[in-house]
């Protein structure tokens, strides 16, 4: 008799959704999940508008972070958000269109 594998329960809790203007039709979800034998921060992209194939829901884009890593990310984000120079367009470098990222490298 074959043993059935127990399904992993992530027990996801969505803490916030961000409508990201650089990714039309997608939201960034801030989630905590049970993974890697711990409770982790789970940052995921979620497709709201159907793709060419009709897919909606979570994409493969995302990552898990420990609480320590999440704090480090928070600190870096706080620093860059408050650094006005980080938001100025640099004139001597062309602005890259993400669709052609590989071509510009």
Q: What ranges do the domains of the chain cover?
A: 13-86
What's phi and psi for 56, nearest 5 deg? -130, 160
Q: Does domain 13-86 have CATH number 3.30.9.10?
A: no
Helix (H, G, I), strand (E, B) or coil at 30: strand
Quick one: tokens of 53? Answer: 């194939």
pLDDT band at 34 (very low <50, low <70, confident <90, very high): very high
Average pLDDT over residues 70-80: 97
Number of neighbours of residue 41 by Cβ within 10 angstroms: 20
Considering only CA atoms, which of 6, 74, 88, 90 is closest in space to residue 41? Answer: 74
The pLDDT of residue 80 is 97
Question: What DSSP character marks residue 103?
Answer: H
At 38-66, the pLDDT tens digits run 999 999 999 999 999 999 999 999 999 99
């Amino acid at each position: 008799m074959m043993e059935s594998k127990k399904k992993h329960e992530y027990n996801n809790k969505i803490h916030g959704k961000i409508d990201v203007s650089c990714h039309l039709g997608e939201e960034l979800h801030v989630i905590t999940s049970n993974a890697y034998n711990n409770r982790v921060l789970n940052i995921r992209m979620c497709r709201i508008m159907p793709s060419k194939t009709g897919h909606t829901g979570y994409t493969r884009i995302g990552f898990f972070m420990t609480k320590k890593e999440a704090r480090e990310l928070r600190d870096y984000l706080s620093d860059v958000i408050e650094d006005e120079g980080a938001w100025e367009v640099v004139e001597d470098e062309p602005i890259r269109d993400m669709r052609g990222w590989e071509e510009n490298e």
